[in-house]
Structure 1
């Protein structure tokens, strides 16, 4: 009986570690996704800024404005997405404590 309790404690301890590592990976993935949105937004911004100098197009001002708006929309969407997932990740961190409480009860 003592052996099964020790095995259960080790399994719960492993579960806590596995959960913490999974949340860290998820946090890093969320940050990486935000940086990808930021990079894409900056590409659109640079395209809008350099359009007038590189190409002699009749309605370049309209294209520049469209690129600036696209850049802003991508940036705002990426920021909202990042904050939404960050809140969700921090909410899930609370559930790890449930495993800790279960572990310490034994």
Structure 2
């Protein structure tokens, strides 16, 4: 029978905390995308009232499209990274395999 080495629980805790920081950073990035999309949406909504531009309707549509694209990119980015994070979560705690082989 092989000798069992002590499991480094500090290493596992550090990995879990790093993963939690990554999750929070992903959420923060999504909120930044959302905030930017809302800025473009509000700019598009308020353009007609603030400026008397001849083709303001086209500019409004462009701002709405930019807002939608930013929101879509932010959402895709969030779920892509969320999936990547959840795939890497299963590796935490696998240090036991090194010690019990």
TM-score in terms of structure 1 length: 0.85
User: What secondary structure is seen at the aligned counterpart in 1 of 2:94?
Assistant: helix
Residue 48 of structure 1 corresponds to 44
Alignment: residue pair count: 97
User: What secondary structure is seen at the aligned counterpart in 1 of 2:54?
Assistant: coil
Deviations 1:24-80 (A, max 9, x none): 000000000000000000000000000001110000000000000000000000000
Instruction: Judging by fraction of residues, say which structure has more helix.
Output: 1
Q: What is the CA distance between 1:98 and its match in structure 2?
A: 1.1
Match of 2:59 among 54, 63, 66: 63
Structure 2 stretches of 5 or more lacking a match?
A: none
Contact 1:41 1:70 in 2 (8 A): yes
Residue 72 of structure 2 corresponds to 76
Residue 30 of structure 1 corresponds to 26
Two-structure CA RMSD over aligned residues (Å): 1.5
Residue 81 of structure 2 corresponds to 85
Runs of 4+ that moved beyond 6 A: none
1:16 aligned to 2:24?
A: no
Structure 1 stretches of 5 or more lacking a match?
A: none
